[in-house]
Amino acid sequence: MSTEKKVGLSELYAQDPIEADRLVWGRESHASTRRGFLKKGALALMGAVLGGNVVFGANMPAGLIPVGIWDQDFPIKGKHKDLILLNDRPVNAETPPHLLEPLVTPADRLFIRNNGIPPENIDLSTWTLTIDGESALTSKTYSLQDLKTRFQHYTYQLTLECGGNGRAEFNPPAKGNQWTLGAVGCPQWTGVRLRDVLEDVGIKDDAVYIGYYGKDTHLSGDPDKVVISRGVPIKKALEDESLIAWAINGEDLPVMNGYPLRLVFGGWPASTSGKWLQRISIRNIVHDGPKMTGQAYRVPCKPVAPGSKVAEEDMCIIESMPVKSLITSPKSGGILRGKRQLEVSGKAWAGDLSVSKMEVSIDFGATWQEASLSAPANRLAWQPWKATVTFPDVGYYEVWARATDSNGRSQPMVIPGWNPKGYLNNACHRIAIKVN
Ligand SMILES: Nc1nc2c(c(=O)[nH]1)N[C@H]1C(S)=C(S)[C@@H](COP(=O)(O)O)O[C@H]1N2
Ligand SMILES: [Mo]
């Protein structure tokens, strides 16, 4: 597809599928019947994009995005081709659970959640980070070189999960990217401690929050509009593992994941981990940038009935993410032939806490078997687990996985607390297995 289009395909088709057909392919529609037909040129164009002649193109209903467009090789440079594209403008892509089997998530498998358009033509020699704000003793600007030479380097494995991971399951549905399972990853991040840099500038006693600003641009194209500017309470900002990072697994950050500099707050909604970082404000109030206020990244302070409208003052900012786990091997839908034993493995994490127990069930939660769970590489890293299950007979099974955090809270088996924006779905992951 052309790179100059201003709106993503999914968005375009959601707004007006018939008009989208006309814009994208040049398809003509009969206003009376709303049955479209593809003109020769439109068919040829569609065929070229799909890599083959659309044989029954004449039968194709109007307003349909060819599913083959989503199934093509992932078009983002440097990213695994099996990432699942949810939106192309802005780019949003999730990782299928089986690609998260390695203990340390490879950079090309880390999900992408963009709210705007990433900066282009990044010049490392002129990139700067400014620290300012009401609660900064002074304001200072650092080059990348300053950061790398003046402060000690740290490497931690940190879990990054979008607050909206699992949104697709909420009912009534919540608007936004329909993440299923894979808006999560746990690579190794290298950088400097946010604390060291903030202390170099000087933090006033009245500091309560930090807020970030990135160099991405708003979808509207308005250069003065900030895409997203969130942050964390000063206490979280000053933790050992809170990083200003320039590397994933020892290499430069991928462009889509914030190159050349980003914040990383393991265990908190990933929206706090500002990408393409150019400024941090030390605030004497709870940061109030775009997507910090209103309903964004907030859930009802008290549970509400599904579908409720919730007043802004009854919404609370999401902090530490809830306990959760994934089965990363085998892939759902596997067939076990000629044996009854299966090794299952996965990852578990629990926001600021650690995971203390991991269990699996093959009988829809009637009985649970304890899995072997390893310690995290460091605080705020996910924990690998594995178990061997034995199926009593041939047939269809589901393997369910359930983690319990160090405070004794477990994952729910069904979708938890409905909330207007569809955050924090930590229901148990299930996979299907057929035993032949
Ligand atoms: N500057 C900037 N930072 C950002 C975002 C963004 O759109 N712009 N998206 C946030 C959200 S909502 C998430 S979930 C994470 C995603 O990080 P990733 O794309 O590296 O996986 O980045 C966060 N930081
Ligand atoms: Mo997010």
**CATH code for position 310:** 3.90.420.10
Q: Are residues 198 and 300 in the same domain?
A: yes
d(CA 237, CA 224): 27
Residue type, 97: P
From 317, 333, 364, the end of a domain falls on 317
Counting ligand 1 atoms within 8 A of each CB, the residue from 129, 275, 287, 292 with the most, and so the one to mutate, is: 275
Q: Are residues 241 and 357 in the same domain?
A: no
Asked if the structure places residue 153 within a domain, the reply is: yes
Asked if the structure places residue 106 within a domain, the reply is: no
The answer to whether 264 and 243 are in contact (CB under 8 A) is yes
146 phi and psi angles, rounded to 5 deg? -55, -50
Q: Are residues 23 and 146 in the same domain?
A: no
| Residue 148: predicted pLDDT | 98
Q: Are residues 224 and 244 in the same domain?
A: yes
| Residue 88: predicted pLDDT | 83
Q: Is 267 in the pocket of ligand 1 (CB under 6 A)?
A: no
Asked if the structure places residue 111 within a domain, the reply is: no
Q: What angle do CA 227, 349, 375 make, to 5 degrees?
A: 135
Ligand 1 centroid from CA 273, angstroms: 6
pLDDT string in tens for the chain (436-residue length): 333 334 567 777 777 887 888 777 776 655 444 455 666 777 788 877 777 888 888 788 777 877 777 655 556 778 998 999 898 889 999 999 999 999 999 999 999 999 999 999 999 999 999 999 999 999 999 999 999 999 999 999 999 999 999 999 999 999 999 999 999 999 999 999 999 999 999 999 999 999 999 999 999 989 999 999 999 999 999 999 999 999 999 999 999 999 999 999 999 999 999 999 999 999 999 999 999 999 999 999 999 999 999 999 999 999 999 999 999 999 999 999 999 999 999 999 999 999 999 999 999 999 999 999 999 999 999 999 999 999 999 999 999 999 999 999 999 998 999 999 999 999 999 999 999 9
Q: Are residues 247 and 328 in the same domain?
A: no
Asked if the structure places residue 400 within a domain, the reply is: yes
Q: Are residues 338 and 427 in the same domain?
A: yes
Q: Is 159 in the pocket of ligand 1 (CB under 6 A)?
A: no
Asked if the structure places residue 244 within a domain, the reply is: yes
| Ligand 1 atom 5, closest CA | 114
Of the candidates 129, 118, 386, which has an alpha carbon nearest to the alpha carbon of residue 263?
Answer: 129
- What Cα–Cα distance (Å) separates residue 428 from each residue in 85, 191, 324? 23, 33, 7
Q: Which residues contact 44 (CB under 8 A, 6 or more apart)?
A: none
Q: Is 380 in the pocket of ligand 1 (CB under 6 A)?
A: no
Counting ligand 1 atoms within 8 A of each CB, the residue from 115, 184, 249 with the most, and so the one to mutate, is: 115
| Total Cβ atoms within 10 A of residue 191 | 24
Ligand 1 centroid from CA 427, angstroms: 23
Q: Are residues 333 and 272 in the same domain?
A: no
| Ligand 1 atom 19, closest CA | 112
**Nearest listed ligand to the Cα of residue 424:** 2
Asked if the structure places residue 121 within a domain, the reply is: no
Q: Is 85 in the pocket of ligand 1 (CB under 6 A)?
A: no
Write the pLDDT tens digit of every residue in 147-182. 999 999 999 999 999 999 999 999 999 999 999 999
Asked if the structure places residue 86 within a domain, the reply is: no
CA-112 nearest atom, ligand 1? 19
Q: Is 116 in the pocket of ligand 1 (CB under 6 A)?
A: yes
d(CA 423, CA 407): 21
Asked if the structure places residue 377 within a domain, the reply is: yes
Q: Are residues 151 and 167 in the same domain?
A: yes
Tokens representing 388 are 């061997």
Tokens representing 116 are 């705007």
Write the pLDDT tens digit of every residue in 37-95. 666 777 788 877 777 888 888 788 777 877 777 655 556 778 998 999 898 889 999 99
Ligand 1 centroid from CA 288, angstroms: 17
Residue type, 20: A
CA-164 nearest atom, ligand 1? 14
What is residue 10's three-state secondary structure? Answer: helix
From 317, 350, 376, the end of a domain falls on 317
| Residue 74: predicted pLDDT | 54
Q: Are residues 345 and 288 in the same domain?
A: no
Q: Are residues 149 and 292 in the same domain?
A: yes
Whether this model's pTM surpasses 0.85: yes
Q: Is 62 in the pocket of ligand 1 (CB under 6 A)?
A: no
Q: Could you tell me the residue range of the domain that residue 351 belongs to?
A: 324-435
| Residue 1: predicted pLDDT | 35
**Nearest listed ligand to the Cα of residue 230:** 1
Ligand 1 centroid from CA 373, angstroms: 30
Of the candidates 191, 190, 168, 193, which has an alpha carbon nearest to the alpha carbon of residue 179?
Answer: 168
CA-291 nearest atom, ligand 1? 12
The number of domains in the chain is 3
CA-276 nearest atom, ligand 1? 1
Ligand 1 centroid from CA 271, angstroms: 5
CA-90 nearest atom, ligand 1? 7
The answer to whether 154 and 142 are in contact (CB under 8 A) is no
Ligand 1 centroid from CA 191, angstroms: 17
| Residue 19: predicted pLDDT | 80
| Residue 28: predicted pLDDT | 67
Q: Are residues 393 and 340 in the same domain?
A: yes
The secondary structure of residue 208, as a DSSP letter, is -
Q: Which residues, in sequence order, are bridge partners of residue 155?
A: 190
From 259, 285, 317, the end of a domain falls on 317
Q: Are residues 46 and 171 in the same domain?
A: no
